[in-house]
Structure 1
Amino acid sequence: MPSSAILCPPGFLDRLEAFSQLGSTGDGGVDRVEASMANGEARRALARRMDELGYQVRIDPVGNMFGLMPLAEQFAGQELPWVFAGSHIDSQPKGGRLDGAYGVIAAVEAGAALKERLRGRPVAANLAVVAWTGEEGARFQPSVLGSSVHAGLLPAETALARKDGNGVSLAQALDAIGFRGTDHAPKPAAYVELHVECADALEKSGRRLGVFDRWWGAHKIELMFIGATAHTGPTPMAERKDALLAAAEVITGLRRLADAAPPGTLHTSVGRLEVLPNSPNVVPDRAKLFMEIRSVDPDVMADAHARLMGLIPHAAAIARVAHRIVREEIRPPGAFAPSLRSLAREQAAALDVEPLGLDTIAAHDAVPMAIVCPAVVLAVPSRDGLCHSPREWTEPADLELGAAWLGAVLERLVTEGPQHG
């Protein structure tokens, strides 16, 4: 069957809609932060569906979920390589129903449809679908956690020891929902991820499909200011050691770095702030900031980081507090595999669509995967560029088109071999 005849898997939209009810917030969004009860419910539903479709379900030690679809044992006397497709099913608190889950459900359904199409035909690769643990980094940091472990960038023991804001480790949380496994999955020879854009370039251009050519780098820093508690009433202002005051200086200063940069070259944020004792009439003695510096240019990232490192002691001096860096994570910018980007464009053309070349500022599991194999991210439009929001939306016809596109790309990879992609 030629790629131009490949259609969206039957019932795909209904299955995606049903999956979005797991952890639903009632306003179009979902709350399935990693290893929560809702996340566990979604994992069990996914495992049941993969089993129904003939996948061999495997759970690794950090909770990554794999559905293995062996298409043939050997080709030309050699064991077949594995083509991976997938994304994640964890979400932000009150996140969107498509971010991550769209790519997983599309891969599961497209893979099963592909197996039916390939009956009796020779293949050059096996297929696996995957739902990675902790892509969002909402509960356990760093983000893209599970894929980083599979890529060998992060030891499993380190990932399992990471704790959430309540002191619960990833190991404990996975045990609580029954998804700390012992299985081992193969390494991919190619990885394809389908995702909503999480930006508005496709919508503005009027294009229905996009290929991510590059990813922005990110420097993530957890910073702690340490002051001293005191009564907010009688304590003289000059004698206070206010950790939150220092944090405020950094928050505004970090934003000014982005505002002063050429538009579209630097993004900064403080997305989370933990304050103790967090009482209205007590001077805070602890303030922990979760900061980000993002750019496609490593020199821009390095310059912003240097300026931030100068800002931190200045803020501490103003507030008369101490400070320390709790954790740093650097993800350099990079480019996805040219071979897979070309293949994706060819298969889009077979569907009579010209895709738009894009940068991704948000991280995806394809980024750590790109370290170990050719990887690419395929995108469909996000209305108003919204992501991490209950208002996240993609037109159903575009969701179907994206799923068909994924199926076409996977067919080429498993029939011709990843080295031809």
Structure 2
Amino acid sequence: MNITPTSGPHASFHALLSGFSRFGATAAGGIHRPEGTPANGEARQFMADWLKQRGYRLVVDRIGNMFGIVDFAGPDAPMIMTGSHIDSQPNGGCLDGTYGVVAGCVAAETIAADIRAGRLAPKANLCIAAWTNEEGARWQPSTLGSGTYVGDFKLDYALARRDGDGVSVRDALSEIGWLGEDEAPALPSAYVELHVECGPVLERRNLRFGIFKRWWGCRKIELRVDGAPSHTGPTLMSERRDALLAAAQIITAVRSFVDLVPKDVMHSSVGRIEVSPNSPNVVPSRVRLFIELRSADEKVIDDAYARLEAKIAETAAATQTQMEIERDEYRRPGRFSDSLAALAEDAARDMAIDVLALDTIPAHDAVRLAPFTPSIVIAVPSIGGLCHTPLERTDPADLALGLDVLTNMLRTLVTKGGV
């Protein structure tokens, strides 16, 4: 049985995580806190209040990224960054993203106490980041805030993204009061992100800690299918231009691509479908599909994309529809910092913890930062491998373990001034 501690950093961690979990809480035990919603604004305010109460400097940039800066070593010192995100999937879980932010906050307090007690001589400052729209649930692309921070996206482009109701990022952040005006801090000397695994590997191996050493590539495609509306009763089957029928053939094709390569080498999905006019008595005239092709092997993704293009042309001709790719985002596979991976291994070894090297199949904000500064994602198990669901859970003892490893890593980085 796990007993929640009543004092010390672990108690502070569980209290802070519980505090965040109030915002957007659902009856199923999860949270509904997509970016730019009132619940997201409340969680942002909760974080801001926590930072200010401790005298940390809050910076909110023009895409709404939040940075809590802890001045350990003076204004000219390098900066170490940690964090994640506090937006959620619709009806998602309490840990995905929020865990890394909360752990970063508590780790900062522990390190600050060490410095005050004279146990630590810092050479770097610390920054806790909460990135905007990591999930990509409301606006695409995902990791929008961190991508804007590193220059992958222009600010005007990011702010102009619109959700399914036509609401822009700019308008939503303004509505909840979190469209910032500050200049974002410079790139850190290192970025460490703590996360729940969002997969089953650690639990199945009976291990408690993993290091993501590389990330899978992902091609995200938004496909528009245009047919023609007509009455579902009298319109002859041979004369229908059914956009949903055509879309269904694309969906099954996307799934079939996985069977053409070795097991677990590729993942594919169509996770969102928008149908118009979405009436039971009207032949669907427009459909949008949100398609994903994921693999650690670029050639596998490229081959699947070529098959998709061929299938689009074939299906459009057969169904008398028109198809157009409206968005094509390609995040190539890559590797995280070997030096930070070694630091994570050392921190775990000092705690007598076995370590497993992992791939991250979903993206994290660290993926955006990795080409620009040493970055790493470390992880603790997800019970049942579940994520993006109210059933998302991690053993409290494993959550505390991840906090301890993160704290040890950040303590070393702050003391050394970087990797």
Normalization by structure 2: what TM-score? Answer: 0.96
Q: Which residue of 1 aligns with 2:40?
A: 39
Deviation at 1:36, TM superposition (A): 0.6
Deviation at 1:122, TM superposition (A): 2.3
Q: Which residue of 2 aligns with 1:128?
A: 127
Q: Which residue of 1 aligns with 2:68?
A: 67
The CA distance in 1 between the partners of 2:346 and 2:87, in whole Å, is 31
The answer as to 2:83 corresponding to 1:86 is: yes
Deviation at 1:259, TM superposition (A): 2.5
Change in CA separation of 1:115 and 1:105 when aligned onto 2, cut-off 3 Å = same
Q: Secondary structure at the residue paired with 1:30?
A: coil
Q: Please say if residues 67 and 128 of structure 1, whose CA atoms lie closer than 8 Å, have aligned partners that are also in contact.
A: yes
Deviation at 1:10, TM superposition (A): 3.8
Q: Secondary structure at the residue paired with 1:96?
A: coil
Question: What does residue range 285-324 of structure 1 map to in structure 2 within 5 Å?
Answer: 285-324=285-324
Deviation at 1:380, TM superposition (A): 0.3
Deviation string, structure 1 residues 125-169 (Cα, Å, up to 9, x no partner): 110000000000000110011000111111111000000000000
Question: What does residue range 201-212 of structure 1 map to in structure 2 within 5 Å?
Answer: 201-212=201-212
Deviation string, structure 1 residues 237-277 (Cα, Å, up to 9, x no partner): 11111111110000000001112321110100000000100
Which deviates more from structure 2 when the two are superposed, residues 14-23 or residues 303-312? 14-23
Equivalent residue letter for 2:47:
L
Q: Secondary structure at the residue paired with 2:42?
A: helix
Q: Which residue of 2 aligns with 1:3?
A: none
Deviation string, structure 1 residues 282-310 (Cα, Å, up to 9, x no partner): 01110000000000000111001110111
Change in CA separation of 1:8 and 1:345 when aligned onto 2, cut-off 3 Å = farther
Q: Please say if residues 227 and 321 of structure 2, whose CA atoms lie closer than 8 Å, have aligned partners that are also in contact.
A: yes
Equivalent residue letter for 2:415:
T
Equivalent residue letter for 2:95:
L
Q: Please say if residues 151 and 371 of structure 1, whose CA atoms lie closer than 8 Å, have aligned partners that are also in contact.
A: no
Equivalent residue letter for 1:150:
Y
Q: Which residue of 2 aligns with 1:344?
A: 344
Q: Percent identity over the alignment? A: 50
Q: Which residue of 2 aligns with 1:4?
A: none
Q: Which runs of 5+ in 2 are unaligned?
A: 1-7
Q: Please say if residues 9 and 113 of structure 1, whose CA atoms lie closer than 8 Å, have aligned partners that are also in contact.
A: no
Deviation at 1:8, TM superposition (A): 4.2
Which deviates more from structure 2 when the two are superposed, residues 182-191 or residues 56-65? 182-191
Q: Secondary structure at the residue paired with 1:11?
A: helix
Q: Which residue of 2 aligns with 1:219?
A: 219
Q: Which residue of 2 aligns with 1:176?
A: 175
Q: Which runs of 5+ in 1 are unaligned?
A: 1-6
The CA distance in 2 between the partners of 1:118 and 1:207, in whole Å, is 33
Q: Which residue of 2 aligns with 1:327?
A: 327
Deviation at 1:314, TM superposition (A): 1.3
Q: Which residue of 1 aligns with 2:5?
A: none
Q: Please say if residues 275 and 284 of structure 2, whose CA atoms lie closer than 8 Å, have aligned partners that are also in contact.
A: yes
Q: Please say if residues 8 and 404 of structure 1, whose CA atoms lie closer than 8 Å, have aligned partners that are also in contact.
A: no
What is the RMSD computed on CA atoms of the aligned residues? 1.0
The CA distance in 2 between the partners of 1:207 and 1:62, in whole Å, is 38
Equivalent residue letter for 1:127:
L
Q: Please say if residues 135 and 144 of structure 1, whose CA atoms lie closer than 8 Å, have aligned partners that are also in contact.
A: yes
Q: Secondary structure at the residue paired with 1:131?
A: strand
The CA distance in 1 between the partners of 2:109 and 2:72, in whole Å, is 11
Deviation at 1:52, TM superposition (A): 1.4
The CA distance in 2 between the partners of 1:183 and 1:116, in whole Å, is 28
Q: Which residue of 2 aligns with 1:24?
A: 25
**Total equivalences in the alignment:** 409
Q: Please say if residues 9 and 110 of structure 2, whose CA atoms lie closer than 8 Å, have aligned partners that are also in contact.
A: no
Q: Which residue of 2 aligns with 1:145?
A: 144
Deviation string, structure 1 residues 210-253 (Cα, Å, up to 9, x no partner): 10011000000000011110000000011111111110000000
